[in-house]
Amino acid sequence: MPIDPGQIRVERVIIHDVPRSRDPWLSDIESQLDQELRTFIEEKLKRSIVRRGLAVTVIAAHPGDTPRCLADYFADPSNHFVPVSHRLARELSSAESRVNASEGLLAVVATQIGELPGLGIVKLEKEEGVNFRLERVNGLNTVNLEMLRTLMFTNRTEVYKIGHFAPGENETSGLQGHVADLQAEGVSKRGVAEYWIGSFLGCDYVGDPPVQTRNFFKVLMEFIDKQVDDEQRKVDYTVAAQATMRNNNDTFRPMEVASTYLHGEDRQRFHDFLSEREINPTSVIRRDTSLIDTMLRQMTLGLDTGIKLSGPAEAIRDHVRQETDADGNSIYIVDGDVQTVRPT
């Protein structure tokens, strides 16, 4: 069962500084939280997963340390929280040293999702003017409440990248999670920085993008063909759907894509239709149209007389019009001169 972000509750937080010019500056103990900060962090995690989250699976055989960190943490969350956070900070530092990533802070967040433990891994982009410092408490370094408030509540510090993970509900289901890259310009502009999802977290996207894209498009076409009665609207919807699926965005959400052209009365019906076909209307799908390239450019109108009109979708929209005669029967008028006649 997928993680329900609405159930995420923050339990513990520890902050580390991960600069580019030196080794990470580590906290020795977790930071103290008041209820305001706890609620703020919870809402950040929930909102980021709902708006930008991409489902991922953890690659157990990945050469990096993060998959092992997650396995160790979930084996004993109480005792492994701080040492695992130290390993994650060093792993992030190593991953970022190989790319042109800006330096920042790493927040490791122990969470609870219903009965399951969870772990959030959050990169905070530390803007100029924020003077990060650690306080000594009983000889141990930590980020005190005042510093934590400055980091979380100032406009000069942004939450930029997130990973959140939880164990599966049985021993064979493995770790499940979501990642989000808030530096992307809009939910559908880009996926997630490769160094974050791959080199650092050791994850891969859930599902096969070409198959997921094709399955969504086939369900959309089925809805238009079977659930939309108006004939001209069928054509308009099909042309709009094809054009929308051909854009350059790396990801899309099923309902957001369809809502740009479906009429109001059809939107809720399509939402329900997606759910019936076991497609999450608000999930994020990585766009890969390699299996439907031809379907995105051609259209066929099948008439009850047995005649079929086929051609580029835009040409059919612009040169085939539907009218109704006095008896209520549809008449299709095709603009243009006959250039070729051949058997098929």
Question: CA distances (Å), 244 to each of 2, 40, 94, 253, 308, in order?
Answer: 28, 36, 39, 12, 25
DSSP 183: T
Q: What angle do CA 114, 166, 75 make, to 5 degrees?
A: 105
* Residue 88 Cα distances to 46, 48, 76, 85, angstroms: 22, 21, 16, 5
Hey, which residues does 164 pair with through a beta bridge? 120, 178
**Residue 15, SS3?**
strand
Joined tokens for residue 36 = 């305001």
Tens digit of each residue's pLDDT, the chain (344 residues): 567 888 999 999 999 999 888 899 999 999 999 999 899 899 989 988 888 888 888 988 899 999 999 999 999 999 999 999 999 999 999 999 888 788 889 999 999 999 899 999 999 877 665 677 888 888 998 888 888 887 776 655 577 899 999 997 655 457 889 999 887 544 333 468 889 998 999 998 777 788 889 889 999 999 999 999 988 898 889 888 988 898 888 888 899 888 889 998 899 999 999 988 888 888 888 888 988 888 888 777 777 787 877 777 677 777 777 777 787 777 778 888 877 776 65
pTM to 2 decimal places: 0.67
CB neighbours of 95 closer than 8 A, spacing ≥ 6?
Answer: 64, 101, 195, 196, 199, 200
Retrieve residue 96's tokens.
């970022």
What pLDDT score does 191 carry?
64
H or E segment and range at residue 105 = strand 104-113
What's the pLDDT at 188? 36
- Token pair, residue 316, equals 């059919």
**pLDDT the model gives residue 187:** 37
Q: What is the pLDDT, as a whole number, of residue 189? A: 37
Strand-pair partners of 106? 16, 123
- Cα–Cα nearest to 257, from 282, 233, 222, 236: 282
* Strand, helix or coil for residue 25: strand
Buried b vs exposed e over 231-249: b needs ≥16 C-beta within 10 Å? eeebbbbbbbbbebbeeee
Q: How far apart are CA 98 and CA 46, in angstroms?
A: 30
Q: What is the pLDDT of residue 107?
A: 94
